[in-house]
Chains A and B, each alone.
Chain A
Amino acid sequence: MATHKTKKVMLTGILTDNPVIRQILGICSALAVTNLMLNSLIMGIALTLVTAFSSLIISAIRTWVPKHIRMIVQTFIIASLVIVVDVLLKAYYNPMSQMLGPYVGLIITNCIIMGRAEAFAQNNPPLLSFMDGLANGIGYTIVLLMISFVRELLGFGSVFGINLLGANWTAWTLMIMPPGAFFMLGILIWINNSRKAEGGAK
């Protein structure tokens, strides 16, 4: 029973209710860091860790926190976790920390985390909330990797920094500039909505 529930939570977070392309949450960073696949991967891991652990902690203390101050408590927990991630990133992977710039700190205001805390962790046991946070983080990471795959491939001709398209490929600079990010996300939402509509009609 427990494993069945966990599986359902994981699937909902990753696929059917994907936070980025279904709920349109957390798209600031989804657009900003997706010019390179490596950036997206690191950002995805950072966000997954913060979401999972904040859901775990918020769910664990949910019965002791008075309802009207829960937002502040949640913000504190999330901000503390983001500081931990930021310090770790600065210590062990400083070039990446420089590259992501303010977007690591902006994980605090990423609506996915607060959304999961309010919608799920508030009413569910800790372990299940942890899985839910993990699933949503993974869903976010997958979307980021999809966007950045296209953007890096067309913009630099490479994937994870490894050149695939050869020296003759003329870099499509637009893809690594801001408009490219908007177009890719728009198209991804379009594809996903059409797929959903078709599935519903059957």
Chain B
Amino acid sequence: MSPFVILFASIFTNNMILSNFLGMCSFIAVSNEVKTSMSLGQAVTFVLTITTALNWIVYHQILVPLELEIYSFIVFIIVIAASVQLIEMIIDRYLPNLYYALGIFLPLITVNCAILGVSLFMVIREYQFIQSVVFGIGSGLGWLMAITVLAGIRQRIARNPIPEGLKGAGITIIITGLMALAFIGMSGIVNMS
């Protein structure tokens, strides 16, 4: 499968949130404001790209030759936690502006299930290295887009009369459902299964 198709599919038709439900916790919790959502989305994209590449190398160059594939869960989690720590230290040292923008989100990202999910999908779908990196970037961008759109909608409806029981998480999930419905319209363009 060509990397371009993977990129397009992972952003629009196989979006991490809207069709795979990954990274929902922070998606619901941190989507009150467009600005914060965009920062979190950028951080997720950044971390996803790096961890997917690292996990591909670790899985195919270390775990497969040693036949230790069943330990991939633990190894992936360690790689993700370690690289998030490392990224945090590096951007704190060299890119202070970026650190102020993303800083508080980086530790949260370790437990974002989209990060581990992308690595697991990469193994299950047997991607090559370039495909995996593109898949990581595309998934991150798709996540960024979905959370930004959701935050925009939530800001608009903040003062609308919403039934008492539906306020907060309830309406957010239903809006996400409507977004998912809209994105199904694009599913004919590319197919990745």
Contacts and interface: CB of A to CB of B under 8 A. Distances in A.
A59 B185 CA distance: 49
A24 to B, nearest CB: 5
A41 B3 CA distance: 36
B121 interface: yes
A190 B77 contact: no
Given A102-B117, A106-B117, A31 B124 contact: no
A86 B73 contact: yes
A190 B167 CA distance: 8
Interface stretch (B91-99, B128-136, B176-184): B176-184
B166 A193 contact: yes
B177 A179 contact: yes
B25 A27 contact: yes
Contacts of B180: 177-179, 182
A106 B113 contact: yes
B153 interface: no
A190 B20 contact: no
Nearest to B74: A79
Contacts of B181: 174, 179
Contacts of B164: 193-194, 197
B111 interface: yes
B24 A28 contact: yes
B34 interface: no
6 contacts: A72-B81, A83-B74, A179-B184, A186-B166, A194-B163, A194-B165
In the A-B complex, the 6 residue pairs with the smallest Cβ-Cβ separation, listed nearest first, are A182-B177, A193-B165, A102-B120, A194-B165, A186-B174, A109-B113
Interface of A: 24-29, 31-32, 72, 75-76, 79-80, 82-83, 86-87, 101-102, 105-106, 108-111, 114, 174, 177-183, 185-187, 189-194, 196-197
Interface of B: 18-25, 28, 70-74, 77, 81, 111-113, 115-117, 120-121, 124, 163-167, 169-171, 173-174, 176-178, 180-181, 184
